[in-house]
A and B are shown apart, each in its own frame.
Chain A
Amino acid sequence: MATFKEYRERPAENPIAVIHANHVLPPGARPIQGQRAGFVSRAIAAGIDVTLIFITVMLTAAALWMLSFIIDPTTAASNEQNRVPDLFIMVAYGYFLNWAYWTICWALSGRTIGNLVMGVRVVSRKGERIGWGGAAVRSAFCAVFPFGLLWVIVSGANRSVQDVVLRTSVIYDWVVGLPTLARVLGRTAYEPERVEDGQ
């Protein structure tokens, strides 16, 4: 398979590819495919992810709160505060959830839901998917030190602190179509084509 550079420069060979190229990607989107993404796209993607995690944490808290009434219906005044976990535990749970979510997504497909929306993908130094280890480390790094993303603004190569340290990149790679569970989990439909292209 061609690299992004070749892909961008190569003219489409058959009429269907021309139709596809003209209709699937919006005008002007083709030349940037495969380049490192800038700050805004990545920040929005991260914001979407963190928001989803936040909602999940809140739903978990609500579920626990409701569950507590089933387990202990008596409402003693002294008991009131124990119905919801402590803030510290909630935050830790949120961090853990975020770390696990990013790790799984980046290792399997290189894309979180936020990445899918913004059309970016995390790749290794060689432009491949980062492995489970790399994903776990990067995820932890991002969760602990989110301000590393700000380095993208001043970096000469659109890299965050995490990218510089772990030698990863976040590139524009627009998935056409809706983010589906299959895509998030890496069971993308593109695998057979890769086999085809290898032949």
Chain B
Amino acid sequence: MSDEPRQEVVLITRPAVPGPPNPMDTLREVISTSLGMAAYTASTMASLVEQTVTYAVESSVNAALDRLVPAIADAIVERLDLTDIVLEQVDLNRIVNSALDTLDLTQLVIDRVDIDEIVAQADIDRVIDRVPIIPLANFVIEEIDLPQIIRESTGGVATDAVNAIRVQGVGADQLVSRIADRMLLRRRQRKVEVPGDPESLMGESTRAESPMEEELTREQPADESLMGRMRDDFTSNDRSARITDPTRET
């Protein structure tokens, strides 16, 4: 390629009619085409070689790096206390906070954690030991007034029975009176009115009769927590103040 002849471009004016073919021209054309082909081939070859070389070098370098880098990194990490560095250099609070801000932890726990499994493994007995069961039960019984409910329900049955007997008695009374009055040819009504107070029904319309009714009419404090009320109940000595119904017999 180094002995390539110098090319010159010569502008030649010729008549429109082609003359006889010049063997020199043909030769020149052949030579120039050959040279062009040669140049193209050379450049293609060069690029091909370059790519091949690059690939070969890269793959060998990569292989070398693959072997070297982990070893070097290991050696570095071995010589450094990463934890200390992180603790000293990194603002962990900020990272954690920003992480927590972006996470919905509750949903995450619900989605990912098997709560049933945790509860199954938890030591419930120890938790229960810490709960004041007896005061709690006493409070519930006190609050719903269980003894009064029992008294009212059993008393209700007995009252129904007694009332039934009394109603029968009154009916029989009136029947006997009617028959006697008819036999005595008495026309006027019996004088059965007596002055006096309805002792057993006193105060019926002025006040609640049972603690349950009292509870219904009593004004409840607006905002009072269960524990607060429990505490008040069990610290107060004056528990009798809550029982104001005189009909309550204990």
Question: Is there an interface contact between A173 and B155, defined as CB atoms closer than 8 Å?
Answer: no
The stretch from A68-76, A95-103, A123-131, A137-145 touching chain B is A123-131
Question: Is there an interface contact between B201 and A7, defined as CB atoms closer than 8 Å?
Answer: yes
Question: Is there an interface contact between A127 and B176, defined as CB atoms closer than 8 Å?
Answer: no
Question: Is there an interface contact between B165 and A127, defined as CB atoms closer than 8 Å?
Answer: no
Complex interface bits, B173-201 against A, C-beta within 8 A gives 1, otherwise 0: 11111001000101010111111111111
Considering only residues 106-127 of chain A, those with a C-beta below 8 Å from chain B are: 110, 117-119, 121, 123, 126-127
Q: Say whether, besides A44-B169, A176-B159, A193 and B176 are in contact (CB < 8 Å).
A: no
Question: Is there an interface contact between B155 and A32, defined as CB atoms closer than 8 Å?
Answer: no
User: Whole-angstrom distance between the alpha carbons of A121 and B166 in the complex?
Assistant: 13
Question: Is there an interface contact between B200 and A190, defined as CB atoms closer than 8 Å?
Answer: yes
Q: Say whether, besides A118-B165, A153-B176, A193-B246, A4 and B184 are in contact (CB < 8 Å).
A: no
- Report the minimum CB–CB distance from A180 to chain B (whole Å): 6
Query: How many residues of chain A get a CB closer than 8 Å to chain B's CBs?
Result: 66
Residues of B within 8 A of A32 (CB): 170
- For this complex, into which size category does the number of interface residues on chain B fall? 35 or more
Complex interface bits, A34-59 against B, C-beta within 8 A gives 1, otherwise 0: 11111111001000000000000000
- Report the minimum CB–CB distance from B18 to chain A (whole Å): 132
Question: Is there an interface contact between A189 and B248, defined as CB atoms closer than 8 Å?
Answer: yes
User: Whole-angstrom distance between the alpha carbons of A189 and B247 in the complex?
Assistant: 5
Known: A4-B194, A44-B169, A154-B180. 19 other contacts (CB 8 A): A16-B209, A17-B206, A21-B204, A24-B204, A26-B167, A28-B167, A36-B192, A38-B169, A40-B169, A41-B166, A41-B172, A119-B166, A169-B194, A172-B170, A180-B249, A189-B247, A191-B246, A193-B202, A197-B206
18 contacts between A and B (CB under 8 A): A34-B196, A35-B193, A38-B173, A39-B177, A40-B172, A40-B176, A41-B170, A156-B188, A156-B191, A158-B190, A169-B194, A174-B166, A177-B159, A178-B155, A190-B200, A190-B202, A190-B203, A196-B206
Task: Write the residues of chain A forming the contact surface with B, with a CB cutoff of 8 angstroms.
Answer: 1-5, 7, 10, 12-14, 16-17, 19-21, 24-26, 28-29, 32-41, 44, 110, 117-119, 121, 123, 126-128, 153-158, 169, 171-178, 180, 182, 188-194, 196-197
Task: Write the residues of chain B forming the contact surface with A, with a CB cutoff of 8 angstroms.
Answer: 155, 158-159, 162-167, 169-170, 172-177, 180, 184, 186, 188, 190-209, 213, 216-217, 246-249
